[in-house]
Amino acid sequence: MRVAVLGAAGRMGSTVCQAVDAAADLELVARVDVGDDLAVVGEAGADVAVDFTVPSVTEANVHTLLDLGVHAVVGTTGWDDEALLRVRRHLDRADGIGVLVAPNFALGAVLAMAFAARAARWFESVEVVELHHPDKVDAPSGTARHTAEGIARARRAAGLGPVPDATTQQLDGARGAVVDGIHVHAVRLRGLVAHEAILLGNPGEQLTIRHDSFDRTSFMPGVLHAVRSIGARPGLTVGLEHLLDLG
């Protein structure tokens, strides 16, 4: 299988290039970074392109890949419902092509999100705290947004109301961002890579579900699994959980 990497000079892109290079069944045929023409992906005969670029360009990259007939595995964050809908519509005209948009490829992070959604219906309170390196450009993390959305969906399905919160006075931002009714807090600290804690509370007890990526190699098994699987999954898939039978 022939693989192109977009954002190849970045922290994630360079790690993906190493992982693809080291995989006997994959061939790295194009390394693309800022200023390069995406046409090289088609010229190199790539079957799949992996995108770890920046939120401001990732959607345009995916549309170009679809025009080139190349499957896409996207780890870049910053996607909203409108952008996903535009890709879905484009896919209607791109027969047999698959696109995966996944906010986190670490298997432990995907499991943490699944566990949190499973636990959510049994707890009155829940908040999400994400902690990252300070070079990250978006907040809250894509993972935290996806986590909060999964929790909110599970709470709605169980008929739970809003989380309790008596706050009537606050400094702006003191209670974090609110994603689908769930409070999400973002920490940026030198030395960190990517971490998330989901705090679930009931009278007299707390459950904490925590995941830590200490190194970007943690994302590689999930990325390679997606690269190998996406060709058999036409259309748009959001979240690696759907490729791991956890969705």
Ligand X SMILES: O=C(O)C1=N[C@H](C(=O)O)C[C@H](O)C1
Q: Which positions touch ligand NAI (CB under 6 A)? A: 6-7, 9-13, 32-34, 52-55, 57, 75-77, 102-105, 142, 219
Tokens 């190699």 found at: 217
- Residue 132 annotated in active site: yes
For ligand X, the binding residue among 58, 141, 147, 237 (CB under 6 A) is 141
For residue 64, the partner it binds in ligand NAI, ligand X, none, with Cβ less than 5 to 8 A by kind, is none
Cβ density class 9-19: b for 16+ within 10 Å, e for less: ebebbbbbbeb
16 neighbors 52 (Cβ within 8 angstroms):
yes
- Residue 136 annotated in active site: yes
Please state, in angstroms and rounded to a whole number, the distance separating the CA atoms of residues 240 and 27. 22
Q: Which is nearer to ligand NAI, 25 or 135 (CB)?
A: 135
For ligand X, the binding residue among 7, 13, 98, 103 (CB under 6 A) is 103
For ligand X, the binding residue among 53, 58, 77, 147 (CB under 6 A) is 77
Residues 6+ apart with CB under 8 A from 174: 167
Dihedral, 22, 28, 34, 37 alpha carbons, nearest 10: 180
Could you give the 3-state DSSP secondary structure of residue 245?
coil
For ligand X, the binding residue among 15, 61, 64, 143 (CB under 6 A) is 143
The catalytic residue among 63, 71, 90, 132 is 132
Q: Which residues bind ligand X (CB under 6 A)?
A: 77, 103-104, 132, 136, 141-143, 194
